[in-house]
Chain A
């Protein structure tokens, strides 16, 4: 293909002429430094190119080199534990080669070409294979067995397959297809803007527990589901995202830091290798891939970063894993689109965002799902997508929030008001919702407890009643309420403070198993029910406030998982005992 010439440079946008034959979304190299870019508009022989690197120093007349292929990622062993920029350059290697600051024009492969991986075949010569079939395995980390799959377009009989140590570029198997023999390597490529194929989508029936009480108990997300966390700055979006990345019961975590703070990525890089996965006891980093395109890195690469991340996530889903992807923040991705669109002088939609904003957001989230994977053996994979949204001023009418809410099924509404009172996670329990509660009902009944969902809706009812009663209190004061209503206030406050409030930085409180969540909630509600009976017999709410058991209930969250059952047993006994005493006291008074 022919070399083009730059005719215009405006920020991250470059226009070149003489670009006949180039296709939309093809990668090109711009200037003598060969900065990487992507074609985003074609008019005659002129191509508009978004450049993934800083464009300072480019001028009219500089050359543009087409590559003839779309922006793709390398998929194979070595993804785990890596940290990439938005176009899959490994940042650790980049630092080794170029120093502490990101320099331009450095092309680095996503996967190491030197490292050798032990490959164990599961197919043998003579076997028929088709796309998606697992032909062998590589132990990528202690946690992750990397399943090598037949890439799309290859179908036929295995004529050769080798066990041993290979680099990602070595051929490990040869398949005789109708177009001749084709080699299979440990690595394959996939264009990031095209979703990877699967056999069929399945309904989301299994919850993805996160160890976060307000989420798991009240607004659960399913494996293969979608969720969004909008909130103003300082409301704890990033801490919540980090908590999900740490504690979600997924096999693989893909964390995209899209246009956010550099230090947050450093935080993940330092913490994850130290933190232990509650299931396996292994460092969390062993199952994590990080994409970091921080806010000061080039804006076009930020646009690409979410696609790079989700393609990697889909690849592991195809192996049959449960994958959770966190994108923080999708607003920065949308802003990158807006900036490029503005430079293209497209007619803007709302707030200057391009008219295709909603469509792009929707098709991104639609790449989530629980699926039956292609190929054999038959397997199911799931990709859960959780996106943070950073609306200006926390205003939920923001176009990115609105476009997101139209597609996602779970809404965790973070509120500044709660954050100021240091109620964390600052998820508003009245406005948040999950549309998966119906889907996962059966699973929860079978695997958690038959009455868990009922307890959860009872507790929510108390919280709703509290909100109504507070209106009245604001007008006439607490003493005007009936004893019953005052008890509701007490119980709701217990749910808020002793259950919903969760300290991400406390070594025990940071993660609560679903079993412990169930026990905690049951205890609070048992207190409420018992107290209700006591009040019917004449005990006053004021007397209840002084009960020693309340303090013990308040400290349930700090009790380690292995001691919780015993603790709950004792608390339940104390509830009965202490309320009985109060009731007897009434008896004596009468």
Chain B
């Protein structure tokens, strides 16, 4: 292995090594500081005898004369074996919990390779999260990538932990694991997850990759990739169903922007690089199922929208890649609706094949269409009432307003430890719909109206009179 002491420039997280022979694009680099400290970096560009290297742990303390650079002739790899379960690693995949190093069964490049679209199995197994706003209206399926679009100060991490705690596939007992990737979150937030996993006894089936707020920012670029590499190993080598939680993707994107700015690239919107979409896709698209493999990767990235703006490039590009989104609303949070999920702009694209007869219940699809439409109309009427006063509303509109309020209070709201079965969620929806006359329920097939609407109307009426 050749060692160089020929660093030419250092600028931000980047350094330029000169007089290099045979450096490869994407190669892993080891940097030995005069103090003996060893850091890691990656080749971003080679040009004649120059190699541009991004240093994961930051460039502080690196000098031009003494620091040694070694090119390791391989990409960034992490060691993998079943022993990773229950362990905590840093953002680059090195043990952080004081435990022994992993004796690798295999080593994998953290960049992975794209799944051949032809090899994919379509995700269609319903995951019951026990949360009505998700199960009833935006059902999640195994192998889906469904992000949380949240804002600073909203309880997205609590909800993510609740999903990790409660998620199950109905009627099946299968191997299940959680891979948790933290990018730039605070110690407190990370501790919350660790405590929660410990308390519920889940820790032994959790793998954590932690890059905290005071850890090197550039390291974050590797963190989600390391987490997904571990997830791919567990899912596709070891037949385990893996839920990957990545929080917070906004910090990841900012690290990416830092590199791009240091390279003086032409910036796209808001200073983020033009390749942000492609870069995010190389992370998110690693979720999925593969034909003939038992395991799966379900991905739940969490991101905080700057200024709660959904059109900001990070949520915007994420939404174009992921299969839906669960959106948090500050307004609902203020109204003490918890979890404050704004169901109207939320969406699960893969729901249609995961629900229905034999999966959840035959009436599920019609029911959520109707609940959506009714809630949307109620919200619209609410706005109208705010401008014109309630007197301006028709009788029907008033009914819808009441519906919307009860819907938020009874359906969306639920306790942090309340685990509702999908049956309970569906029945709750019907109960609320009985507030409206049957002729209003145009999105539901007659046969289901006959079967469910009538039953619940009797129940509700019977309940109120008796």
Residues of A bordering B, CB below 8 Å? 7-11, 54-61, 83, 91-92, 94-95, 98-103, 232-234, 257, 259, 261-263, 265-267, 269-270, 292, 294-297, 299, 332, 335-336, 338-339, 342, 348, 351-352, 390, 392-395, 416, 419-422, 474-478, 497, 503, 505, 551, 554-555, 558
Residues from chain B with Cβ under 8 Å of A554 in the complex: 442
Judge whether B111 and A56 touch: CB under 8 Å: yes
Interface flag for B412 (CB, 8 Å): no
Query: Would you call B417 an interface residue if the criterion is a C-beta within 8 Å of the partner chain's C-beta atoms?
Result: no
Interchain CA distance A335-B269 in the complex, whole Å? 12
Having A60-B48, A292-B117, A554-B442, one finds 9 other A-B pairs with CB under 8 Å, namely A11-B45, A56-B25, A57-B27, A59-B46, A91-B116, A95-B119, A100-B293, A103-B113, A392-B317
Say yes or no: A59-B23 contact (C-beta < 8 A), given A9-B46, A420-B344, A554-B442.
yes
Are B274 and A420 closer than 8 Å at their CB atoms? no
By a CB distance below 8 angstroms, the chain B residues around A339 are: 274-275, 278
- Taking a contact as CB atoms closer than 8 A, the residue among B24, B114, B352, B445 that contacts A297 in the complex is B114
User: Closest residue to B122 on the A side, CB-wise?
Assistant: A266
Distance of A421 from chain B, by nearest CB (Å) = 4
Which A residue's beta carbon lies closest to that of B312?
A393
A-B contact pairs, 10 of them (CB 8 A): A54-B113, A98-B116, A102-B113, A262-B114, A262-B285, A263-B120, A297-B114, A352-B268, A392-B316, A554-B442
Enumerate chain A residues within 8 angstroms of B332, measured Cβ to Cβ.
Answer: none
Task: Find out whether the CB atom of A8 lies under 8 angstroms from the CB atom of B47.
Answer: yes
Q: By the criterion CB–CB under 8 Å, are A352 and B285 in contact?
A: no
Q: A233-B319, A352-B274 in contact; A60/B117 too (CB < 8 A)?
A: no
> B278's contact among A61, A232, A335, by CB below 8 Å, is which?
A335
Q: Does chain A have a CB within 8 A of B290?
A: yes
Distance between Cα atoms of A299 and B273 in the complex (Å):
15
Q: Chain A nearest CB: distance from B73 CB in Å?
A: 9
CB contacts (< 8 Å) of A294 on chain B: these are 114, 117, 281, 285
Alpha-carbon distance between A100 and B236 when the two chains are bound, in angstroms = 10
Would A94 and B118 count as touching, CB distance under 8 A? yes
By beta carbon, the residue of chain B nearest A103 is: B113
The 10 closest A-B pairs by CB, nearest first: A393-B311, A295-B281, A56-B26, A296-B285, A233-B319, A101-B113, A91-B118, A477-B392, A9-B25, A100-B119
A59 partner, pick from B22, B347, B369, beta carbons under 8 A = B22
Contact yes or no, A233 B316, CB < 8 A: yes
* Chain A residues, Cβ within 8 Å of B139: none
Cα(A342)–Cα(B349), bound, Å? 33
B249-296 interface (Cβ within 8 A of A): 265-269, 274-275, 277-278, 281-282, 284-286, 288, 290-291, 293
Bound Cα distance from A294 to B394, whole angstroms: 49
Q: Looking at the assembled complex, report how far the CB atom of B279 sits from the nearest CB atom of chain A, in whole angstroms.
A: 10
Q: Encode contact with A along B1-28: 1 for CB under 8 Å, 0 otherwise.
A: 0000000000000000000001111110
The answer on a CB contact under 8 Å between B394 and A478 is yes
Are B266 and A348 closer than 8 Å at their CB atoms? yes
Report the minimum CB–CB distance from A62 to chain B (whole Å).
9
Query: In this complex, what residue of A is CB-closest to B269?
Result: A392
Q: Across the two chains, which residue of chain A brings its CB closest to B282? A: A296
Partner of B24, one of A58, A92, A95, A422: A58
Q: Which residues of A contact B352 (CB under 8 A)?
A: 505
When the two chains form their complex, are residues B324 and A234 in contact, meaning their CB atoms are under 8 A apart?
A: yes
Tell me the residues in window 207-235 of chain B with beta carbons closer than 8 Å to chain A beta carbons.
none
Chain B residues near A102 (CB-CB < 8 A): 113-116
The answer to whether B365 has its CB under 8 Å from any CB of chain A is: yes
Residues of B within 8 A of A (CB): 22-27, 44-49, 75, 109, 111-123, 143-144, 236, 265-269, 274-275, 277-278, 281-282, 284-286, 288, 290-291, 293, 310-313, 316-317, 319-321, 323-325, 344-345, 347, 349-350, 352-353, 365, 369, 372-373, 376-377, 380, 384, 387-388, 392, 394, 439, 442-443, 445-446
Please name all residues of chain B whose beta carbon is closer than 8 Å to the beta carbon of A83 when the two chains form the complex: 117-118
**CB pair B269 A351 closer than 8 Å:** yes
**Inter-subunit contact B321/A295 (CB<8 Å):** yes
Q: In the complex, which residues of chain A have a beta carbon less than 8 angstroms from the beta carbon of B109?
A: 56
- Chain A residues lying within 8 Å of B282, measured Cβ to Cβ, are 295-296
Verify B442–A101 contact, CB threshold 8 A: no
Contact B372 A497 (CB under 8 A): no
**Contact pick for B323, options A8, A263, A555, CB 8 Å:** A263
Whether A60 lies near B49 (C-beta < 8 A) is yes
CB distance from A542 to the nearest CB of B (A): 9
Supposing A262-B120, A342-B265, A422-B369 touch, asked if A392 and B274 sit within 8 A by C-beta, the answer is: no
B345 near A234 with CB under 8 A, answer yes
Distance in Å: Cβ of A14 to nearest Cβ of chain B: 9
Q: Which of A263, A269, A296, A421 contacts B114, CB < 8 Å?
A: A296
Chain A residues within an 8 Å CB radius of B25:
9-11, 55-59
A95 in contact with B118 (CB, 8 Å): yes
Least distance between A505 CB and chain B CB atoms (Å) = 5
What residues of B have a CB within 8 angstroms of the CB of A100 in the complex? 115-116, 119, 236, 290-291, 293
| Residue contact A421 to B323, C-beta cutoff 8 Å | no
Q: Which residue of B lies closest to A90 (CB)?
A: B118
Residues of A within 8 A of B345 (CB): 234, 416, 420
- Output the nearest chain B residue to A56 by Cβ-Cβ distance: B26
In the docked arrangement, what's the CA distance between A551 and B444, Å? 12
Q: Are B116 and A94 in contact (CB under 8 A)?
A: yes
Determine whether the beta carbon of A338 is less than 8 Å from that of B143.
no
Given A101-B114, A295-B285, A416-B345, answer yes or no on A422-B376 (Cβ-Cβ < 8 Å).
Answer: yes
Establish whether residues A295 and B48, one from each chain, have CB atoms under 8 Å apart when the complex forms.
no
Task: Assess whether A505 is in contact with B113, with CB atoms less than 8 Å apart.
Answer: no
Given contacts A95-B119, A263-B120, A422-B369, contact A295 B278 (CB under 8 A): yes
**Residues in A neighbouring B317, C-beta threshold 8 A:** 392
A92 and B118 contact, CB distance less than 8 A: yes
B347 CB to nearest A CB, Å: 5
A374 → chain B closest CB, angstroms: 34
- Are the CB atoms of B268 and A7 closer together than 8 Å? no
A60–B377 CA distance with the chains assembled, in angstroms? 62
Residues on A with C-beta less than 8 A from B286 are 296
Residues of B near A55 (CB, < 8 A) are 25-26
- Determine how close the nearest CB of chain B comes to the CB of A585; give it in whole angstroms: 20
> Which residues does chain A contribute within 8 Å of B143, judged by CB atoms?
263
Closest Cβ of chain A: how far from B51's Cβ, in Å? 9
Most B CB contacts (10 A, CB to CB) among A266, A474, A476 go to A266
Pick from A91, A102, A416, A422 the residue with the most CB of B within 10 Å: A422
Complex contacts, B324 vs chain A, CB 8 Å: 234
Once the chains bind, are A263 and B236 in contact (CB under 8 Å)? no
A557 to chain B, nearest CB (A): 10
- Chain A residue numbers with a CB within 8 Å of B265 are 342
Judging by beta carbons under 8 Å apart, are B310 and A393 in contact?
Answer: yes
B266 touches A474 (CB 8 A): no
Chain A CB count within 10 A is highest, among B275, B365, B394, for B275
Which residues of chain A have C-beta atoms less than 8 A from B321's C-beta? Answer: 261, 295
User: Taking A61-B22, A100-B115 as contacts, is the C-beta distance between A233 and B320 under 8 angstroms?
Assistant: yes
Nearest residue, chain A, Cβ from B397: A478
Q: Which residues of A contact B325 (CB under 8 A)?
A: 233-234
